[in-house]
Amino acid sequence: MKYYIITGESSGDIHAANLVKYLMKQDTSAIVRGWGGKALKSLGVQVVKELNELNFMGLIEVLKHIKQIRNNFKFAYSDIKSFNPDVLILVDFPGFNLKIAKWAKINGYKVFYYISPTIWAWHKSRIKIIKHYVDKMFVILPFEKDFYQNNGVVVEYHGHPILDSLQVYLEKQVDYDEFCYENNLPQKPLIAILPGSREQEIKRLLPIMTAVSVFFDDFHFVIAGISEFNKSIYEKFCSNNVSVLYDKTYDLLKHSYAAIVKSGTSTLETAIFKVPQVVCYKLNNITYLIARLLVRNVKYISLVNLLLNKECVKELIQNNLTVDNLKNELNLILNTNKRKEIIADYENLINLLGNKGASERIAKRMISILNNFEK
């Protein structure tokens, strides 16, 4: 069968690649084309649009790049028609993918949506689009299944694929001293800085995330960089106490004592590595004000706190994200008692995510559903 897959950021690229790996295993004649990054490319997927062409976040950024976004839609329509897939698999990336879903369904394509938009937090009106234009929704958070079922959407939950993505790194045996030596890092406890996978986020968050390093001489801060971006975005913040490692986020987390993390999937990844963290988030002020008006009945923004339904990790959002506040919160998670509390909560979180193997289970279900469609 022919599969067309669209994802718009690095975490989606990784989850998409794990799914594709098992699609190819189950369907040896599979031909896969789509939008993504290194992870999908490594499997031989025909990647026709790179992640760095897609990362526009917030109202102002979208308006600045409106022409390019329109061109992306035109290209998608044309390329999907030319490829003529048996199914379109849309991975998160809702601002783009929900419009693609509508177009695809109207034009007669099967549509699977993998990894739900956070419509349970805001943009609940999008449920109508999903209900009418998505053949099957595959969610990765346990509470999402009930949400969709209560709104009349055909949905399945098979666990969280993040456990599949991280398994090889969790099992990897690399000595801390060896890791520091190989990456030219000093022999100090490491504090990971994860500023996100969108250029706008990185530019907005890194100045604050790195500024706090001057208060912690006994630690070394390491930025988790993405090589697809211009290296100057990161390297201008490097100093004697701040380094950058490219495309080694999981290796870095495995050897980190604490972390400063942009809200998103990376908060969950950090928790699975059992690294105490402070969560940070900052938007353009206009975008933030609009978001506050739209978000309803959600107490937290980090996946860790959302899933546990409690404040396990501190969230510093918008005006609360200052160097002083970050310094104070970082001091707290370097404290033994606070660390023990966070790690105990992480254990409960990991149990909530179900068993590993979600990517394989979802791939099997997708193929089974497609075979039934053909009958």
Question: 323-338: buried (b, 16+ CB within 10 Å) or exposed (e) per residue?
Answer: eebbbebbeebbeeee
CA distances from 141 to 116, 145, 306, 312, 374 (A): 9, 8, 10, 18, 30
What is residue 188's three-state secondary structure? coil
pLDDT score, position 374: 61
Question: Residue 238 class from Cβ within 10 Å (0-12 exposed, 13-18 middle, 19+ buried)?
Answer: middle
Q: How many whole angstroms separate alpha carbon 61 and alpha carbon 199?
A: 11
Q: Which H/E stretch holds residue 17?
A: helix 10-26
Average pLDDT over residues 270-281: 96
Residues 110-166: tens digit of each pLDDT: 999 999 987 766 667 789 999 999 999 999 988 899 989 999 999 999 999 998 888
Q: Quick one: CA torsion of 249, 358, 147, 315, rounded to 10 degrees? A: -20
**Domains with residue ranges and CATH for the chain:** 2-161+357-374 (3.40.50.2000), 166-352 (3.40.50.2000)
Are the beta carbons of 110 and 154 closer than 8 angstroms? no
For the cut 90, the answer to whether the pLDDT of residue 53 exceeds it is no
Residues 188-224: tens digit of each pLDDT: 999 999 999 888 889 999 999 999 999 999 999 999 9
287 confidence band (pLDDT: 50, 70, 90): low
Q: Inter-axis angle of helices 323-333 and 336-352, to 10 degrees? A: 80
For residue 347, give both structure tokens: 């254990």
Q: How many whole angstroms separate alpha carbon 239 and alpha carbon 61?
A: 30
Residues 134-147: tens digit of each pLDDT: 999 999 988 899 98
DSSP state, 9? Answer: S
pLDDT score, position 229: 87
Residues 335-371: tens digit of each pLDDT: 889 999 999 999 999 998 888 899 999 999 999 999 9
pLDDT score, position 206: 97
Are the beta carbons of 374 and 33 closer than 8 angstroms? no
pLDDT score, position 284: 62
| 47 or 119, which is more confident | 47
42 confidence band (pLDDT: 50, 70, 90): very high
- Residue 198 has phi, psi (to 5 degrees) of -115, 140
Q: How many whole angstroms separate alpha carbon 337 and alpha carbon 279?
A: 19
Lowest-confidence region among 42-51, 161-170, 275-284: 161-170
Q: Which among 194, 110, 124 is positioned nearest to 370, based on CA atoms? A: 110
Q: What is the mean pLDDT of the chain?
A: 90
pLDDT score, position 85: 98
Gap between the terminal Cα atoms of the chain: 14
For the cut 90, the answer to whether the pLDDT of residue 298 exceeds it is no
Q: Which residue has the tokens 């309803």?
A: 296
Q: Which H/E stretch holds residue 352?
A: helix 336-352
For the cut 80, the answer to whether the pLDDT of residue 254 exceeds it is yes
For residue 332, give both structure tokens: 């707290």
pLDDT score, position 124: 74
pLDDT score, position 361: 96
Q: How many whole angstroms separate alpha carbon 215 and alpha carbon 224?
A: 20
| 223 or 263, which is more confident | 223
Q: Which residues contact 335 (CB under 8 A, 6 or more apart)?
A: none
Residues 63-118: tens digit of each pLDDT: 566 777 889 999 999 999 999 999 999 999 888 999 999 999 999 999 999 999 87
Q: How many whole angstroms separate alpha carbon 89 and alpha carbon 366?
A: 10
Q: How many whole angstroms separate alpha carbon 90 and alpha carbon 88?
A: 6
pLDDT score, position 7: 94
The full DSSP string for 244-281 is EEES-HHHHHHTEEEEEEESSHHHHHHHHTT--EEEEE
Are the beta carbons of 100 and 124 closer than 8 angstroms? no
For residue 349, give both structure tokens: 């979180």
CA distances from 148 to 36, 144, 153, 183, 360 (A): 27, 6, 5, 45, 22
